Amino acid sequence: MEDFLVYFYQNKETIFVIVLSIFLGVEVISNVPSVLHTPLMSGANAISGVIIIGGIILLGHTDLSSGISLNLILGIFAVIFGTLNVVGGFVVTDRMLDMFKKKKKK
């Protein structure tokens, strides 16, 4: 029990961010017309590519002096996958939204 209390206290800012982010997500998504569910999901999907930051940090501080290591390879894959998620996600969303935009001009 004490461990838990200590853990909570040490990470209280983070826990606040998490709880408030949950409400934020609910607030932003509620009342969205179903027309936009797909682009919205796709856009959210691209944002979950924020893991790329973790990949950069990890690969950034990987020791390269010892040549090619398993960590290096996995790190490179993490960054490539993360980028795929980010770039692919945003580009696809943009393409979807293009279709909605076309009709406005008419």
Partner 1 sequence: MNTTLQDLGISSGDVILEISYLIAAVLFVFGLKLMSHPESAKKGNLWAGGGMVLAMITTLFLHRDADGSTIGMTNVVVIVIAIAVGSVLGAIIARRIKMTAMPQLVSFFNATGGAASALVALMEYSNPENTSALVTLLGLIIGTIAFSGSMIAYGKLDGKVGDIFAGWVKYFNVALLLIIAALTTYMLVVDLDPGMQTLLSYILLALALVYGVMFVMPIGGADMPVVISLLNALTGIAAAMAGFIYHNQAMILGGIFVGSAGAILTLLMTKAMNRSLLNVIVGAFGGGGAGIDKEHGSIKEITLSDAAVLLSYSQNVVIVPGYGLAVAQAQYACNDLVKLLEGKGVEVKFAIHPVAGRMPGHMNVLLAEADVPYTKLVEMDDINPDMPNTDVTIVIGANDVVNPAALDDPSSPIYGMPIINAHESKNIIVMKRGMGKGYAGIENFLFFNNKTRMLFGNAKDSIQALVSEIKEL
- Binding to partner 1 (CB under 8 A) within 30-59 occurs at 30-59
Q: In this structure, what are the phi and psi dihedrals at residue 31, rounded to the nearest 5 degrees?
A: 70, 20
In the complex, least distance from residue 2 CB atom to partner 1, rounded to whole angstroms: 16
The CA-CA-CA angle for residues 64, 65, 67, to 5°, reads 70
Question: Which string of x and - marks every residue 69-88 that binds partner 1 (by CB under 8 A)?
Answer: --xx-xxxxxxxxxxxxxxx
Torsion of CA 96, 80, 21, 13, to 10 degrees: -160
Least Å distance, CB 9 to partner 1, is 14
Note whether 6 binds partner 1 by CB under 8 A.
no
